[in-house]
Amino acid sequence: MKTEKTQKNDDLMSLIQTLVETPGPSGQEHRIRETIKEMVTGLADEIRTDALGNLLCRMGSKQANGKRIMVSAHIDEIGLMVIHVDDNGFARFIPVGGINPLTCLGGRVIFMNGARGVIGAERLEPNTMPKLENLFIDTGATSAADCPVKIGDVCGFDRPMLDLGKRISAKSMDDRIAAVIAIMAMRELAALPAAKRGPNEVWFVFSTQEEVGIRGATTAAYGVDPELGFAIDVTLTGDTPRAYKRPMALGKGACIKVRDSSFIADTRVVDWMINEAKSLGIPYQMEVLDAGGTDGRAIQMTRAGVPAGCISLACRYVHSPSEMVDKDDLNACIKLTAGLVSKEVKL
């Protein structure tokens, strides 16, 4: 017989698996959006979808001592778009988001129309690194006429989630694991008595097209018009053999962002997050990221400017089909997110 703790873990793993295995590259987020919408219906006071396909979920109404807070987790993933199908049925492609050709070789893909394929490469000279233009998708077709995909069709990586005990590996942890954090925080907030949900109006935004330029969160932030906000995303680590030296590592807690290539977090927001982590006894680590960007930039730059930050989850092998996160870090991020939005905020 399963204990309550075991059942909760199984439910969380099922949630993660559903989200990471649902295809949805940038610009093709309709399936993952509808999946998440079903999961959060009944938790939020208002749910709507905007023109760019962002899913916006409002919990609570702003009280006199409260703030309008935006919490953004993007739901798109990196992918590939077909630009040519040759006479033998091989499909050439361009990237949708940041793609490393080395992580593509031999990989499997799934198109939004359900077609599947594998990624092959031309014969290269010895000691030559492949480029994306050297790669192609083989759908098993024998000609252009019977190829199940056409120019403009989009695919994502096709790989099942792997539960490794303390760690989990899957494609599209970036950023579906952040969507998991947001959903779980919504559940925790909804489970609180009304008097303990805080004075804030909280907008949980599941944003689109982050991987191609932080586009969805830009329009969502303009529409929400928050007074405070933060993104939830993954971040690179420096904890593997001969890795680039970075302070973030798996198993050391939630990451509180100081900066990345797209924005510098508001120091008041950073302090707010640190103080909340300390008050809840949540392990945390400081994130200084030398590359990449998040929805935090879109929140910070909207309208006349907004105090913004980011809670990150340390993730190995980002933008590969086997991204890896730590379960304890995941739970720390859920607890921290729920704690931040359920209390009066004083920056």
For the beta sheet containing 162-163, the strands, ordered from the edge strand earlier in sequence to the opposite edge, are: 162-163, 167-170, 323-326
Q: Are residues 71 and 83 in the same domain?
A: no
Q: Are residues 10 and 130 in the same domain?
A: no
> What average pLDDT does range 4-26 have in this prediction?
91
Please determine, for residue 307, whether its predicted confidence score (pLDDT) is greater than 70. yes
Q: Are residues 177 and 311 in the same domain?
A: yes
Sign, Cα dihedral of 273, 294, 239, 11: positive
pTM over 0.85: yes
> What average pLDDT does range 226-231 have in this prediction?
98
Count of the separate structural domains present in the chain: 2
Provide the residue range defining the domain that includes 271.
4-77+171-341
Please tell me the predicted confidence (pLDDT) of residue 207: 98
Please tell me the predicted confidence (pLDDT) of residue 97: 97
Please list the active-site residues. 210
Please determine, for residue 86, whether its predicted confidence score (pLDDT) is greater than 90. yes
Please tell me the predicted confidence (pLDDT) of residue 1: 62
pLDDT band of 9, cuts 50, 70, 90: confident
Please determine, for residue 92, whether its predicted confidence score (pLDDT) is greater than 80. yes
Residues with Cβ within 8 Å of residue 281, at least 6 apart in sequence: none
Please determine, for residue 220, whether its predicted confidence score (pLDDT) is greater than 80. yes
- Round to whole Å and give the CA distance between 325 and 271: 25
Q: Are residues 209 and 63 in the same domain?
A: yes
Q: Are residues 214 and 263 in the same domain?
A: yes
| Digit-coded pLDDT (tens) for 160-213 | 999 999 999 999 999 999 999 999 999 999 999 988 999 999 999 999 999 999
> What average pLDDT does range 93-122 have in this prediction?
96
Percent of the chain scored above 70 by pLDDT? 99
Q: What angle (nearest 5°) sits at the alpha carbon of residue 329, between those of residues 97 and 234?
A: 15
Asked, for residue 112, whether it belongs to a domain, the answer is yes
Q: Are residues 43 and 83 in the same domain?
A: no
